[in-house]
Amino acid sequence: MNLKKTYTSFKLILQKNRVLRRCIRLFTFITCVAFLAPFLANDKPLICKYKGQLLFPAFSYKNHVFIDNESINYLMGKDWQTLKTEFSIFPPCSYSPNTIDADNAPRKGPFDNQIMNLKNGESIPLPIKFRHWLGTTQNGNDVLSCLIHGIKISLGVGIFSMLIAALLGITLGAAAGYFQNTGLKIGYIQMVFLIISIFFNYFLCFVIRAEKLSDGFQSGGIWLFYQIGFTLYLWIQNTIIFLWLGKWIDEKFDFNNRLHFPIDTIVLRIIEILNSIPTLLLIIALSAITKPSFSLLIVIIGFLSWTGIARITRAEYLKAKQLDYVTSCKAIGMGHYRIIARHILPNVLPLILVPVVFGLAGAVLIEASLSFIGVGVPLDVITWGSLLNEAREHFSAWWLVLFPGLCVFTLIFIYNKIAVEISKFK
Amino acid sequence: MKSFFYFLFVLLLAITSSCKKTQNNVLVVHLISEPDDMHPTNGASAVRAELNLYTNLSLLRVNYKTGELLPCLSESLPIVSLDGLNYDYKLKNYMTWDDGSPITARDVLFTAKASKCLYTNNPGFKPYWENILDIVPDEIDNRKFTVIMKRPYILNTWFWTDFPILQETFYDKHKILSKYTNSQLTDSVFLRTTPEIKKLADEFNSSKYSTDPKFMNGGGPYKITKWDKGVSITLEKKQNHWSQNCKDAWYCQGNPDKIIFKLNSNNASALLELKNGIIDVSTMIDYASFSELDKDENFKKNYVLKLADTYNYTYVAMNMKPDGKKHKKIFNDPDVRKAMAMLTPYDQINKTLYENHNKRMIGPISPNKSDFNTDLAPVTYDLIAAKDLLDEAGWVDSDNDNIRDKMIDGEKVKMEFTINFIKGSKVWEDLGKQLAESMSKAGIYAMLNPLDYNGFIGAATGHDFDMSIGAWQSSAPPEDFSQLWHSSAWTNHGLNFTGFGTPQSDALIDSINTSIDESKRAELSKRFQQLVYDEHPYIFMFTQTRRVIVNKKWDNLDVYTEYPGVLLNTLKLKD
Amino acid sequence: MWSYALKRLLWFIPTLFAVTIIGFILLSNAPGDPVNSLVLSNNSGGSLQTAKDLEHQKIYWRKQLGLDLPLFYFSINKLSEPDTLYKIKEESLLKQFKAHIKLTGGYKNYIPKIIWYGHHNQYHRWVFGGTNSRGIVRGDFGISISKKEPVIAILKDKLIWSLFFSIVSIILAYGISIPIGIKMAKSPDSRFSKMSQFFLFLMYSMPSFFVGVLLLMLFANPDVVSIFPPSGIKPIGGYDDDASLVSKFIDSLPYMVLPLICYTYSSLAFISRLTATSISEQLRLDYIKTAKAKGLSEKTILWKHALKNSALPLITVFSTVFPGVVGGSVIIESIFTIPGMGLETVRAIGSHDYPIVIAVITLSSALTIFSYLMADMLYAWVDPRIRKT
């Protein structure tokens, strides 16, 4: 199995390289923190005992419980801290990112006097377990909690956008590199049908489905992915049907395989066009036009940053085409797609991984930059960049600069280091 | 090693030249956003209005010290006819334009016509002229003229305060507009037959008057000499301005030789500039930075920090007449609206966002105004009472999902809605978050919906919103409630966003607008405030406070409630 | 050489064309009616008379901006839609009309129809000029919505600052990192090369907004060290009217230091590493050995022979660094309030002034394409083999 081969080669690389191993370990740790975020930073206690009843608020999906005719609301934020429980175990950071701690707002630093106002009007120093270790923001959100929950977004935007980019880049790059300009042959009628299909698909996807598509862009989230995915699916499916029809007619009239389809030139042109548009500017413009959402950001970054991947894939496929194992595969009459996907791909995958991992760093940087200038990201989620954005207005809050900045730096550093270390194994 | 020395040299150079002091008698003022254009009548930005104070003159002005009318170009306040429709003005005789020609009634007439002509692009000014029937110049005295109004109205004189008077010979050299009457200029059929008006209007609208300092002209003591886009605007004192010879015209006299408006949209670097002593005057730094500077003893050695009231206020509007389809019928019940007002954590917001500097707003009129109704008590934050009110109104959490719901027209409606606000402002974003959090404690789910300015206004005037956070700028003239509260301003998609208004309240507004007698108007105004107060169309939040910071080397500082808070031309350099 | 140059130039025309199409698609999909923002006023108050005046103004502006024309040379519509659908401008009206068509159209809703409009369309007007427009080919990008001024008049000064910063920072980056790279190549295992490699890599991973804010906090803050001015690019009140270019430069120097650091630091790692690898490859070649044998000094060998022959990869890097610098200007300019294109873009997005945003994108894409062209030319000039292929 080829996947196994790839896996073992990765394992070999890992065994040889100490730095890479450490980086991957650190990355795994960060990912774990992201997954465990609700239990590491939450304003609800993990376990507490109230009026003799054992409660697990942080794990619970309940909305409220009645204890002795008193309704305990699970959404009540900071009130859990002042609730007179018999005992309670809070997560290490006892705030959710959206919890507003008005007593310690605006902007209390890590070393400032942090207080807690009790319900009877008394104010006491904040107990150590409720302390804001990394300070608070203007609204009194806990910075540590925002950082922990922000990992999810930084990781997610990077990984999902690079999934899209890798899919596009590898497919197009492989096709361009393997077939070049002469490898793909189509008939006259097929060519005509291909051009007609573009118009037809445009009508189908962007005129008839215009409303649904714009609805998807407005609402964001999974719905956006679905709409874009479905549009792409429709497009590809219809193109294939048209091509197949054309081929059928071509075969009837014996027009088959007369034209070279210049896929290499087309892909290279598209790469050149995309490369000549400054990505950050285009993303800013795009996200200003549509309603900001993370799924849109993922899609935009994904569709704009596949060029580097495609270029390297193309180069690797060009090289691989000359190698003996490919020629022998061709000699035994193996299909093109089988050669591309099952035989060449596993061999060049580690090298393709380099631009993908660099792309991850780039995506993180783009997301953070956008949140920093406050364009194109939803407001209700606090990200690393948006914390820095707040600091931009108030330099005295150094903790809002230092900690989020370090977080972005660390993640980008890890990605870059991984990419550099992988690229050493040529 | 060599390169290191080069670096040191560059550093030294940098230090020395950054320490270069500005010239004397030059006032540097912090500006947070650039005016979009500086056209005397066609522009829309607030900054332009501030600059107009120094570069242009109007017939009347607000007396900053008392909040009353003050004759500026006019010799005295107008003589009003008995029916309150004819206003006789007489211009002062010693005033001249820059080229030495006197300011006459012709200029006033030209200003009126240029604003009234359908082709000129000044939608902000057009509404003012709706009430003007005609302006008739005196046949003998070219400094006298009569303004004839359509109906008596409290702002019949006040509106002149916004209006810079334009020099006819500067904008209309061939005196084209004076050939036509007011009614001809608003008749679109007639206008189509006269290409010369179209040509003049196109020139009048053209960007040279709004961007090029060479084409900026006005009667004020200062002149814009340089506009470095995105960097600064420089105003220079006119050398031979007529105001130098008359002592009583303090409002149009210039003391600093130069006023430089330095643009800096970033709060933090503006703070650094203040600390570095680069900026002399700032009224735009945010609340937190003001408090920070107020605690800084070193800084206070060089700067005066003052808080000043304003007439502006922030509000949260609720859609009282939702369509029921796109927007659920949540806020058509006054009790629910009252509960919303009770759920607003005023103290918390005032503390976290405004450093406790802001005063509470109670009704539709600022407490800094004389006709403010002092009998009304502010709504305070009360979670339990609000919950009770909601329960009574039928909003209960029947399905245990922590969100209240109610059967309306046979359909279960959840208490979920969006809060609109204009994006780009961190304060409103934070305010929205605090509102939403506070409401979630009472079982209400509010989503934030940041919109750009046009989208926000469009949604609000199109009644396509649930709740929207906004602010109104107001000024010293008596309040005309019809813009915001008359029910016609709702049906015509005007600024009455909420749908407030009954025949009774409309009648009250009309009678307020026509009662020239001050004490009677104040009494009616108080009654109207009571009406609004009972209905809770808005959550009235706070009146804003202006944060004035002025370098101590400038003397003669007075802080006013009226925008812009500090009259820069009155500041005097200490010796 | 010239035929090669011409060939490359011709290849860039379709790219430029595609860029304008992308820009135009963005522009025409921008939400909201630009005319609405042009005539919007705070005082309209809801009186009917004003609404009528506004309508008049709207028609005027629509004509002025060419918005009364169809979008493109042709359009693909439903058969049930009339040919002149583009003439309906009010969004709510259009929505109603479309809903009506959807209900009554029947099968015609699913049959495509291609309408040919000819060259009287918005795209043609935008690119090649037409009524009230000279087209972007002649440098007319239309009218800014918020400032009602020609876009190009607004962007002209800003473009100069942005270009200045990107060019100076690229020169600086090369100037600093090539000596470092050469030193690293000379002794790859020395402490210097390891340390500098590590630190440059650290810097490479630093986000520029983080560094920018840190620099401001540390070096323009009277509470820490106040060496540099915190914002702007010129001394207060601007330059003197008769100032020479040199004195302007010296006046602006303190304002430039921090932004330039920000622009430059991240590309250092990239360029110096590339210099190091390509020079160490060259050093292994025979001609260097000959040169050594000839008795040339090490300095001459490194700086003259090896560097010249490793110039190729350095040129390629130029075309990857340049777009990054242009895009990065958005962040750095808004931190240091430099009145360049980036800051203008952020402002324009805030006030939904799309013509400016699109003009910035189109302009910077054109610049990038131009820089590619330059790189290609240099490439061909340095390595004659390329011209022939």
**CB–CB of A107 and B348 under 8 A?**
no
Mutation site for A-interface testing, chosen from B287, B348, B352 by largest number of A Cβ within 10 Å:
B352
Q: B441 contacts in A (CB within 8 Å)? A: 73, 75-77
Where is average pLDDT lowest: A405-409, C46-50, C161-165, C364-368? C46-50
- On whether any CB of chain C is under 8 Å from the CB of B407, the answer is no
With b for 16 or more beta-carbon neighbours within 10 A and e for fewer, the C58-79 pattern comes to bebbbebbbbebbebeebebbe
For residue A3, give the nearest of A346, A356, A347 by alpha carbon: A346
Is the torsion defined by CA of B153, B158, B159, B160 positive or negative? positive
Segments of chain A with pLDDT less than 50? 1
Residue found under tokens 């130029």: C318
> Is the pLDDT at C45 greater than 60, yes or no?
no
Kind of pairing between the strands at B416-422 and B467-472: parallel
**pLDDT of amino acid C51:** 61
| 3-state SS assignment for residue A342 | helix
Nearest to A207 among C31, C77, C221 (CB): C77
Q: C354 contacts in A (CB within 8 Å)? A: 285, 289
Q: Which residue of B has its CA nearest to A61?
A: B401
> Would you call the peptide bond into A106 cis, given omega within 30 degrees of 0 as the criterion?
yes
- C-alpha distances out from residue B381 to B341, B439, B503, B538, C377, Å: 8, 11, 32, 15, 71
Token pair listed for B1: 């090693």
**Residue length of chain C:** 389
pLDDT digits (tens, 9 = 90+) for C129-147: 887 788 888 888 888 887 7
Q: How far is B272 from chain C (nearest CA, A)?
A: 6
**pLDDT of amino acid A175:** 92
pLDDT digits (tens, 9 = 90+) for B396-434: 988 878 889 999 888 889 999 999 998 878 888 889 999
**pLDDT of amino acid B5:** 56
- On whether any CB of chain A is under 8 Å from the CB of C345, the answer is yes
Q: A123 contacts in B (CB within 8 Å)? A: none
- Top mean pLDDT of A48-52, B95-99, B317-321 is at B317-321
**CB–CB of B269 and C220 under 8 A?**
yes
pLDDT digits (tens, 9 = 90+) for A320-349: 888 888 888 888 888 888 888 888 888 888
**pLDDT of amino acid A276:** 84
**pLDDT of amino acid A172:** 94
Residue found under tokens 């490359």: C8
**pLDDT of amino acid C46:** 43
pLDDT level of residue B8 (50, 70, 90 thresholds) = low
**CA-CA-CA-CA dihedral for C271, C274, C275, C278, to nearest 10:** -160
Contact by Cβ (8 Å): C240, C252: no
The torsion angles phi and psi of B256, rounded to 5 degrees, stand at: -65, 145
Token pair listed for C139: 């440098």
pLDDT digits (tens, 9 = 90+) for B485-528: 988 888 888 888 998 988 999 999 999 988 888 889 999 999 99
pLDDT level of residue B458 (50, 70, 90 thresholds) = confident
Token pair listed for C322: 């340049």
Q: C316 contacts in A (CB within 8 Å)? A: none
Q: How far is B457 from chain C (nearest CA, A)?
A: 9
**CB–CB of C232 and B10 under 8 A?**
no
- On whether any CB of chain B is under 8 Å from the CB of A405, the answer is no
- C-alpha distances out from residue C94 to A125, A132, C70, Å: 61, 53, 15
**CB–CB of A392 and C335 under 8 A?**
yes
Nearest to C227 among B15, B118, B263 (CB): B15
**CB–CB of C237 and B260 under 8 A?**
yes
Distance separating alpha carbons of residues C337 and B233, to the nearest angstrom: 15
Mean pLDDT, to the nearest integer, of C282-311? 79
- C-alpha distances out from residue A84 to A49, A87, A96, A181, Å: 9, 9, 20, 75
**CB–CB of C210 and A388 under 8 A?**
yes
**pLDDT of amino acid A424:** 80
Nearest to C337 among B207, B266, B453 (CB): B266
Q: How far is B403 from chain A (nearest CA, A)?
A: 9
pLDDT level of residue B1 (50, 70, 90 thresholds) = very low
The torsion angles phi and psi of B397, rounded to 5 degrees, stand at: -85, 85
DSSP bridge partners of B543:
B313, B359
**pLDDT of amino acid C53:** 65
**pLDDT of amino acid A144:** 94
pLDDT level of residue B187 (50, 70, 90 thresholds) = confident
**pLDDT of amino acid C290:** 83
pLDDT digits (tens, 9 = 90+) for C174-204: 899 888 888 888 888 888 888 988 899 999 9
Q: How far is A269 from chain C (nearest CA, A)?
A: 7
- Within C149-235, strands assigned E span none
Q: What is the 3-state secondary structure (H, E, C) of C87-108?
A: HCCCHHHHHHHHHHHHHHCHHH
For residue C66, give the nearest of C146, C123, C136 by alpha carbon: C123
pLDDT level of residue B13 (50, 70, 90 thresholds) = low
Residue found under tokens 């980036």: C342
Mean pLDDT, to the nearest integer, of B95-112? 88
**CB–CB of A98 and B433 under 8 A?**
yes
* Single-letter amino acid code for the residue at A404: P
Mean pLDDT, to the nearest integer, of C344-370? 84
Nearest to A139 among B401, B433, B448 (CB): B433
**CB–CB of A395 and C216 under 8 A?**
yes
> Is the pLDDT at C384 greater than 80, yes or no?
no
- On whether any CB of chain A is under 8 Å from the CB of C197, the answer is no
Q: Left (φ > 0), alpha (ψ -120 to 50) or beta: where does B92 sit?
A: beta
pLDDT level of residue B16 (50, 70, 90 thresholds) = low
| 3-state SS assignment for residue C230 | coil
The tally of CA atoms less than 13 A away on the side-chain side of residue B289 is: 25
Distance separating alpha carbons of residues B418 and B458, to the nearest angstrom: 15
Mean pLDDT, to the nearest integer, of B330-357? 91
Distance separating alpha carbons of residues C109 and C80, to the nearest angstrom: 6
**pLDDT of amino acid B401:** 81
Greater confidence (A305 vs C324) lies with A305
| CB-based burial label for C80 (10 Å; 0-12, 13-18, 19+) | middle
Distance separating alpha carbons of residues A94 and A81, to the nearest angstrom: 9
**pLDDT of amino acid A156:** 93
**pLDDT of amino acid A1:** 44
**pLDDT of amino acid A147:** 95
Percent of chain C whose pLDDT exceeds 70: 95
CB proximity under 8 Å: C 214-233 to A: 214, 216-217, 221
Greater confidence (B147 vs B230) lies with B147
Q: How far is C87 from chain B (nearest CA, A)?
A: 21
pLDDT digits (tens, 9 = 90+) for C70-88: 888 888 888 887 777 777 7
Token pair listed for A4: 């196994």
pLDDT level of residue C387 (50, 70, 90 thresholds) = low
| 3-state SS assignment for residue B182 | helix
Token pair listed for B68: 């009353």
- Report chain C's mean pLDDT, rounded to a whole number: 82
Token pair listed for B206: 């053209």
Distance separating alpha carbons of residues A166 and A173, to the nearest angstrom: 10
**pLDDT of amino acid B7:** 60
> Is the pLDDT at B209 greater than 60, yes or no?
yes
**CB–CB of A207 and C365 under 8 A?**
no
**Residue length of chain A:** 426
Distance separating alpha carbons of residues B416 and C260, to the nearest angstrom: 49
pTM (predicted TM-score):
0.89
| 3-state SS assignment for residue A270 | helix
- Top mean pLDDT of A222-226, B192-196, C282-286 is at A222-226
H-helix or E-strand spanning residue B520 = helix B518-535
DSSP B81: P
**pLDDT of amino acid C42:** 45
Q: C112 contacts in A (CB within 8 Å)? A: 199-200, 203, 207
* Single-letter amino acid code for the residue at B432: G
**pLDDT of amino acid C43:** 43
Q: B278 contacts in C (CB within 8 Å)? A: 229, 236
Mean pLDDT, to the nearest integer, of C144-171? 86
Q: A395 contacts in B (CB within 8 Å)? A: 268, 271-272
Contact by Cβ (8 Å): A180, A264: yes
